[in-house]
């Protein structure tokens, strides 16, 4: 066995002599199923661990497949072994603080986003262990991600890992920055839309069961087509309730930095005036505390509470955004201004491309009168 590692029955005990500053100097127990006999275990079942005493990697013990409560113990053991194995040996040496500070130097990001990115980056480091990082290693990890995540989810995961590679200045064999390919966003050609009858039920529930602030929120989500993160950031100077129809002017989108100026109906405008008179916000339209906006998840929580009460499934703030964009009767430029889409290709790929009614009307307008004077028209009868 290794130095500082003891085996008693079904438990591995690892002493940590290097952690002198730690208050807890007791041995660290690691659970393992079955006897540790490397002669009976195939090499693929072995895991590596850095010897805490001298920092060298050794074959320690098999991690056999198991089910039930033992699986969690095995997961903890694998994570511990992987982290000990890459301690001081992996080509990527970056702390959580350095990782987050590097991203903030390049772009603006919320703390929740940074924490989510670091969770994916740390998972990659645990998987990497002592492996040499190159195109082949990154390709194997990317293949594992494709089996685990859907395409749209891998956009965030791959971006988090690319930030890690960029911060660590990892290069490929040709000296170019090593990167994971960001998959193209998967469109939803027939996504969920909010029907007129469903909206009437939601609006009636908002008027009778919700407070005035949440009622205003529901109407703004439907008519403005804004993202929840942008709705909660509407400031009082952005409101133009005297125009016809009322507008929310010069609202910079949090995600794309595109300037949107959505319009709302006169009825919703009167509701906003009533709300402002009753709640008297200081800086933002929706304030959780004086001069502090609600969290971006608040609109989603309100809509979920409403739809759960009504028994309506699949309706979120994004559903209102998709419904309005799909049913938009104007130009693409005005739809960009309404909902804050920076790239018109997004509108074509997600919404206007799949309006079947427009397709049918254009087809009839093009081909309905062609061939009416053909002599053999009876052939087609």
Mark whether 207 and 346 lie in a shared domain: yes
Which tops the pLDDT comparison, 87 or 148? 148
- pLDDT confidence of residue 79: 61
Q: Same structural domain for residues 215 and 293?
A: yes
* Number of domain units in the chain: 3
Residues 255 and 137 in one domain: no
Its domain, for residue 217, covers: 196-355
| 107 Ramachandran zone, left/alpha/beta (phi>0; psi -120 to 50) | beta
Ranking 43-47, 78-82, 231-235 by mean pLDDT, the lowest is 43-47
70 shares its domain with 104: no
The pLDDT assigned to 219 comes to: 95
**How far, in Å, CA of 110 to CA of 76, rounded?**
29
Range with the poorest average pLDDT among 19-28, 164-173, 295-304: 19-28
Q: Quick one: which of 260, 261, 258, 284 has its CA closest to 272? A: 284
Residues 293 and 336 in one domain: yes
Torsion angle in degrees (nearest 10) through CA of 299, 301, 306, 312? 100
Q: CA-CA distance, 16 to 83, in Å (whole number)?
A: 14
**pLDDT confidence of 130, banded at 50, 70, 90?**
confident
pLDDT at 330 over 60: yes
Q: Which of 47, 64, 86 is the last residue of a domain?
A: 86
pLDDT at 42 exceeding the cut of 50: no
- Examine the domain organization and report whether 13 and 110 are in the same domain: no
pLDDT at 7 over 70: no
Distance CA 74, CA 86 (A): 18
Q: Which residues contact 376 (CB under 8 A, 6 or more apart)?
A: none
State whether 114 and 205 are in the same domain.
no
Examine the domain organization and report whether 201 and 334 are in the same domain: yes
pLDDT at 277 over 50: yes
State the pLDDT confidence band at 316, using cuts at 50, 70 and 90.
very high
Mean pLDDT lowest for which of 21-30, 125-134, 264-273? 21-30
How is residue 233 written in tokens?
């950031």
Residue 159's pLDDT band (cuts 50, 70, 90):
very high
pLDDT of residue 279: 93
- 219 class by beta-carbon count within 10 Å (0-12 exposed, 13-18 middle, 19+ buried): buried
As a whole number, mean pLDDT of residues 243-270 equals 91
**Average pLDDT, rounded, for the chain:** 77
Are 223 and 282 part of one and the same domain? yes
313 lies in the same domain as 235? yes
Q: Do 27 and 160 sit in the same domain of this protein?
A: no
């Amino acid at each position: 066995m290794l130095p500082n590692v003891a085996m008693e029955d079904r438990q591995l005990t690892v002493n940590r002599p290097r952690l002198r500053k730690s208050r807890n100097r007791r041995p660290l127990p690691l659970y393992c199923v079955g006897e540790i006999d490397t002669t009976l275990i195939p090499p693929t079942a072995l895991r590596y661990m850095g010897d805490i005493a001298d920092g060298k990697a050794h074959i320690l013990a098999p991690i056999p497949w198991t089910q039930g409560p033992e699986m969690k113990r095995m997961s903890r053991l694998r994570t511990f072994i992987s982290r000990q194995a890459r301690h001081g040996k992996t080509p990527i040496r970056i702390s959580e603080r350095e990782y987050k500070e590097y991203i903030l130097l390049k772009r603006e990001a919320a703390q929740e986003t940074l924490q989510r990115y670091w969770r994916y980056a740390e998972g990659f480091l645990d998987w990497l262990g002592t492996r040499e990082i190159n195109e082949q290693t990154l390709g194997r990890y990317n293949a594992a991600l494709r089996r685990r995540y859907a395409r749209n989810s891998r956009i965030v995961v791959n971006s988090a890992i690319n930030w890690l590679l960029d911060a660590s200045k990892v290069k490929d064999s040709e000296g170019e920055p090593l990167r994971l390919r960001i998959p193209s966003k998967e469109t939803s050609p027939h996504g969920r839309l909010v029907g007129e009858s469903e909206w009437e039920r939601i609006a009636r529930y908002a008027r009778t069961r919700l407070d005035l602030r949440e009622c205003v929120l529901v109407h703004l989500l439907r008519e403005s087509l804004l993202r929840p993160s942008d709705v909660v950031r509407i400031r009082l100077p952005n409101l133009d309730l005297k125009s016809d129809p009322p507008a929310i002017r010069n609202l910079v989108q949090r995600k794309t930095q595109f300037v949107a100026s959505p319009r709302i109906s006169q009825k919703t405008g009167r509701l906003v005036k009533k709300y402002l008179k009753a709640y008297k916000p200081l800086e933002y339209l929706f304030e959780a505390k004086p001069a502090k906006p609600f969290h971006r998840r608040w609109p989603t929580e309100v809509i979920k509470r409403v739809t759960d009460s009504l028994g309506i499934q699949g309706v979120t703030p994004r559903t209102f955004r998709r419904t309005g964009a799909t049913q938009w009767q104007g130009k693409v430029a005005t739809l960009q201004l309404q909902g804050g889409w920076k790239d018109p290709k997004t509108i074509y790929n997600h919404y206007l491309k799949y309006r079947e009614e427009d397709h049918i009307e254009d087809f009839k307008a093009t081909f309905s009168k062609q061939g009416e004077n053909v002599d053999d028209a009876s052939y087609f009868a």
